[in-house]
């Protein structure tokens, strides 16, 4: 089981009621239920709509119905890992404009890091989880 230190960041939500800016939707893909709960809280506190998937297969089911504004993806998952999922996703034209942030506790080899750099917009170690909101603000356009 992976361990991390979690700190909630309080940010102004970008949704301000009727007539306000609609929140961006973030799909989070990770097999660790504790992490999903914590990242859900972190992102909701920052004003994002959050959709959680506990596997790559569940994420694909979600993506068939709705395309998120961005995705946060773990690498270490059973059955179909995040690298396989990322590669398959990038070959699908309908998902090519979805920014993907890889957030993992796994130490990547140089080859894996090059792959992640080529197919995602950012790579963060799970020890940097509190930087996710700042990262999303940088990669998602303001409406």
Q: Which residue has the tokens 């090059």?
A: 114
Q: Are 102 and 116 in contact (CB under 8 A)?
A: yes
Q: Tell me, rounded to whole angstroms, the distance of Cα 7 from its chain centroid.
A: 17
CA distance 24 to 42: 14
Calculate helix-pair angle for 56-65, 82-90, nearest 10 degrees.
Answer: 30
Could you tell me the fold of the domain covering 25-129? Rossmann fold (3.40.50)
Q: pLDDT tens digit string along 73-122?
A: 998 888 888 888 888 888 889 988 899 999 888 888 899 888 888 888 88
**In the chain, how many H helices and how many E strands?**
5, 5
pLDDT at 143: 63
Angle 134-103-4 (CA atoms, 0-180°, nearest 5)? 90
Handedness of CA 10, 41, 64, 135 (dihedral sign): positive
Strand-pair category, 25-29 with 70-73? parallel
**Which tens digits make up the pLDDT trace of 56-71?**
999 999 999 999 999 9
Domain residue ranges in the chain: 25-129
pTM score, two decimals? Answer: 0.81
């Amino acid at each position: 089981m992976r361990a991390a230190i979690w700190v909630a960041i309080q940010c102004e939500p970008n949704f301000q009621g009727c007539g306000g800016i609609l929140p961006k939707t973030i799909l989070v893909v990770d097999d660790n239920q504790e992490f999903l709960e914590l990242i859900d809280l972190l992102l909701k506190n920052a004003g994002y709509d959050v959709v959680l998937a506990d596997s790559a297969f569940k994420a694909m089911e979600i993506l068939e119905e709705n395309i998120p504004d961005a995705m946060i993806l773990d690498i270490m998952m059973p059955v179909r890992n995040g690298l396989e999922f990322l590669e398959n996703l990038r070959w699908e034209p309908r998902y090519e404009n979805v920014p993907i942030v890889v957030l993992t506790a796994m130490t990547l080899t140089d080859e894996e890091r090059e792959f992640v750099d080529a197919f995602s917009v950012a790579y963060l170690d799970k020890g940097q989880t509190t930087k996710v909101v700042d990262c999303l603000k940088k990669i998602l356009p303001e409406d």
